[in-house]
A and B are shown apart, each in its own frame.
Chain A
Amino acid sequence: MEFFRDTHIDWLGKKWYFLGFSLIFSVAGLLSIFFWHHIPLGVDFKGGTQIRVSFTQTPNEDHIRHAMDMAGVHQATIQRISDPSGKAANKVIIALPISSASDTAHDVGRERVESALAANYHDSEFNVEQVEIVGPTAGKQLQHQAEWATLYSLIGMLVYLWFRFELIYGVAAVVAVFHDTLITIGAFSLTNQDITLTVIAAILTLIGYSMNDTIVVFDRIRENLGVSRREPLHDLVNRSINQTLSRTVISSGLTFLTVLSLYLFGGEVLHGFSFALVVGILIGTYSSIAVAAPMLVAYQEWRGKRGKTAALPAVAKKRAKA
């Protein structure tokens, strides 16, 4: 069985559509990040207290709120959890803002919420499943560390691609990955879902996946460049994308299948995590063809116009030993 055989799609000819598509999603995400939901940070980064409570019967949010008010806990947000299929679970997340978790009075918020429920909520039994209290210091440290670790790893990949290909290949790949990350974070902002530490792990995963996908295309470009140096770069890149198209669709499709299974059956804890992957795999596959490759060609053509020779990777000498 074969889905794609000998495709001749002019991918680069569609670069303006791609640009438009990418711009729409990036700008929508950016607008949401700057003017609407901002980047909805979870308690991990923002700091604060978050308590996940499960009830034996359907919880009544008004009664919970009333129970909190009676005990003098006024700033609590109460949110019913639903599983990915949209069915509401008998679980509620009670969150208190950052002021409840200063570095000095760390645990006060949790105790107040628990005692408020115990004293004033009589509808059904409840059980505290998960408590997360993050003080302002820890939240900032975690955020900085995640940012730096990601930045360093991007630089590491850039340097490796520079060494194996050419600088422009590394730059194009990193730009594509950045594009994916931006759109994924934009999707979180648009849908107003919290970015937590597990979501960061998912973003790291999509960075890895997108990078993998881009390298596959680049590798084929490098290989073809070694064989036919006369062919215009535009045609050669198109041919390379078409040659790898079958692999791209099948690999991405299968990974997407795994991730979709995680999204549908992975349970509520993994919800944000698998959402990021579902978005990320789609956009990561798209960006290899629609961002990284056109950028490479645009750069070489721009160099060509200025009368310089195109920066081509030295194929023979750097090829890994098979």
Chain B
Amino acid sequence: MGNKNLAAKTAFIAGVLLVFCFGIVGIPHGGLVESIKRQINLGLDLKGGVHLVLEVHVAEAVGSETDRAAAQLESDFQKAGITGATVGKTDPAHPEVITVSGIPSTKVADARSVMNGNDYASYDLATTTEGNTTLTMKPGAIRDLEARTLDTSIETIRARIDKLGVTEPEIQKYGLGANEILVELPGLSDPGRVEDVIQSTAKLSIHEVAGGPYNSEQDAMQANPAGVPLDSILLHGQGTEGAPDQVWLLKRASVVEGTDFRDARPSTDQNGRPNINFTLTTDAGDRFYKYTSAHSKTSSNPGSMAIVLDNKVREVAAIDSAIRDNGEITGGFTQQQAQDLSLMLRTGALPASISYLETRTVGPSLGAASIHSGVVAAVGGMLAVMIFMLIYYKGAGINADVALFLNLVILLGFMGFSGSTLTLPGIAGVILTIGMGVDSNVLVFERIREELRAGKTAAIAVQQGFAHAWTTIFDTHVTTIVSAAILFLFGSGPVKGFAVTLVFGLLANLFTAVFVSRVIFDAHLANKPRGAELSI
């Protein structure tokens, strides 16, 4: 091998070293430690924070969509002069099915043409054995709606989290189960507050009151001997501040709901109590106006409306006059609740309610302690290994130590460039990398010793040693990379964190233990007379 070739290789190694050093510290400003911290993402288990996994109940979105369609169908029937038909949902286990019964035989054709209209294009029509007609939401439409619901939920949660002022929050779909969202908030330590902000007002809507209040569900059932009508539901709550728990019969389809609110501000009513002023979108304002003018005190059909929050009645009010797009909610809020609720309304309500599957909080002190002892242990272990290599393999020990050090630099550089996160399990990957890095060097050195024992010259022994060890190193590394890649594809969280550092570490190791170490040997031998002894 010529010296020119060797110089080129050395330059290449120096270049690689420089590039990955850049990956670790970036363009250094501030101290070294700060620069490293800026480049290498630490996982929540190392820097502290809140980790939440929540599930979005997407079926609810399907339910409210079909509720709205049922209400629309009813009014379309009225417009078309079809009377006597009942539209509703009979099976709570199948929120995607709307059942139409009692269509007068003279109107069947008219009803058909209404149901075949464009407004119901996302439904499949069918006739049951009892002669009823069912509209079932098409599977594709359900999938779309569910996907949209999940996306909207993520956007909404992100908007709310942003208001908390968390730096670099992570909010994304979580691969483990369907309809799950992962929320990671570095630096926070109170999961209760986070959950409150994300969830407290998961779903807000205004409904028409159809009956009540009753003192209990039994009373409500007695007052409605025929049972709860298909288009209505029974809900608990307090109609005014400090009132006992009561039950109302409400129309299932909401007049307006979460996404219809354009703006909301905390305010105070004439008695100085906190309340919320809201503004509706134009579209919803029209709907609200139509409804409130039809049911105001002065109309022929006066009624009241209920404001429902998380399936609980928060406020029931008679409709004084027609309202278009401005109104207020007085529900006996504290100042904080009024503020939080208006924040939720401003950022948009969640399209479906959510529940928590997993909450993890690591206090910053524990994370720091883990890093500290982890680093101390890893550095201590590595130093011991390096010293041993120097003693056991003498001159060649330097190769191993340089290769190990370079390996670590490249591994961390990879992490910096790719923006991957270093977690506790990731440190496990680093340890396996160090283990296999040492092993690669040992394999090569033992092989070279064997060749030397067989009487070969230093240059031949080095060449043969690398050639034979390479087969083994190749197989061990590819096997482990294959398994790590599979862990990366199918795993999440800790399993993934482990796989990431392992793959990077092994790729780096192939470079350092085989290429770099070889160059050092060659450089060493190039400066010596032919037949010189090798320090190994």
Contacts and interface: CB of A to CB of B under 8 A. Distances in A.
Interface in A45-74: 52, 54
B369 A130 contact: no
Interface in B369-390: 369-370, 372-374, 376-378, 380-382, 384-385, 388-389
Given A258-B381, A265-B380, A52 B366 contact: yes
Interface in A75-128: 103-104, 106-107, 110-111, 127-128
A146 B490 CA distance: 9
Interface in B436-489: 436, 438-439, 442-443, 446, 449-450, 466-468, 470-472, 474-476, 478-480, 482-487
A211 B377 CA distance: 25
A277 B391 CA distance: 26
A205 B432 contact: yes
A160 B472 contact: no
A192 interface: no
B507 interface: no
Interface in A242-260: 243-244, 246-247, 250-251, 254-255, 257-260
B176 interface: yes
A193 interface: no
A40 interface: no
A319 B471 contact: yes
B494 interface: yes
B391 A149 contact: no
A201 B470 contact: no
Given A197-B493, A322-B466, 11 more contacts: A107-B191, A128-B361, A131-B361, A197-B494, A204-B428, A211-B479, A251-B435, A255-B431, A258-B435, A265-B376, A273-B428
Contacts of B467: 322
10 contacts: A52-B366, A131-B361, A149-B491, A149-B495, A208-B480, A212-B480, A255-B431, A258-B378, A267-B369, A322-B471
Contact of B425 (A131, A201, A246, A255): A201
B498 A259 contact: no
Contact of A254 (B377, B385, B466): B385
B419 to A, nearest CB: 21
Q: Could you tell me the dominant secondary structure of chain B's interface residues?
A: helix
A135 B360 CA distance: 11
Contacts of A154: 483
B492 interface: yes
A152 interface: yes
Q: Which 3 pairs across A and B sit closest by C-beta, in order of nearness?
A: A267-B373, A201-B425, A258-B381
Contacts of B475: 164, 215, 219, 320
A254 B388 contact: yes
Contact of B195 (A107, A130, A223, A322): A107
Interface of B: 53, 55, 176-177, 189, 191-192, 195, 355-363, 365-366, 369-370, 372-374, 376-378, 380-382, 384-385, 388-389, 391-392, 394, 424-425, 428-429, 431-432, 434-436, 438-439, 442-443, 446, 449-450, 466-468, 470-472, 474-476, 478-480, 482-487, 490-495, 497-498, 502
A175 interface: no
B467 to A, nearest CB: 4
A279 to B, nearest CB: 14
B362 A130 contact: yes
A262 B162 CA distance: 38
Residue of B177, B449, B483, B486 with highest tally of chain A CB at under 10 A: B483
A137 B425 contact: no
A138 interface: yes
A84 to B, nearest CB: 10
A206 B53 CA distance: 29
A129 interface: yes
Interface string A128-166: 111111110110011001101110111011001100100
B468 A106 contact: no
B486 A149 contact: yes
A82 to B, nearest CB: 14
Interface residues of A, number: 80
Nearest to A211: B479
Contacts of B490: 145, 148-149, 152-153
Contacts of A148: 490
A130 B190 CA distance: 10
A188 interface: no
A145 B376 CA distance: 32
A133 B360 contact: yes
A31 interface: no
Given A145-B492, A156-B482, A131 B385 contact: no
A223 B424 CA distance: 38
B173 to A, nearest CB: 14
A200 interface: yes
Q: Could you tell me the dominant secondary structure of chain A's interface residues?
A: helix
A168 B380 CA distance: 40
B218 to A, nearest CB: 24
A250 B392 CA distance: 10
Contact of B363 (A129, A204, A223, A281): A129
Contact of A202 (B373, B376, B428, B486): B428
A160 B478 CA distance: 8
A251 B374 contact: no
A270 interface: yes
B424 A259 contact: no
A38 interface: no
A274 B374 CA distance: 11
Contacts of B377: 261-262, 264-267, 270, 274
A223 B357 contact: no
Contacts of B189: 128
B356 A135 contact: yes
B483 A211 contact: yes
B494 A247 contact: no
A289 interface: no
Contacts of B369: 267, 269
Contacts of B502: 208
A156 B483 contact: yes
A172 interface: no
Contact of B359 (A104, A128, A131, A215): A131
Residue of A135, A154, A244 with highest tally of chain B CB at under 10 A: A135
A282 B365 CA distance: 33
A289 to B, nearest CB: 15
Contacts of A267: 369-370, 372-374, 377
B450 A320 contact: no
Contact of B378 (A54, A132, A262): A262
A208 B483 contact: yes
Contacts of B478: 160
A203 B172 CA distance: 28
Given A146-B495, A209-B432, A267-B373, A257 B55 contact: no
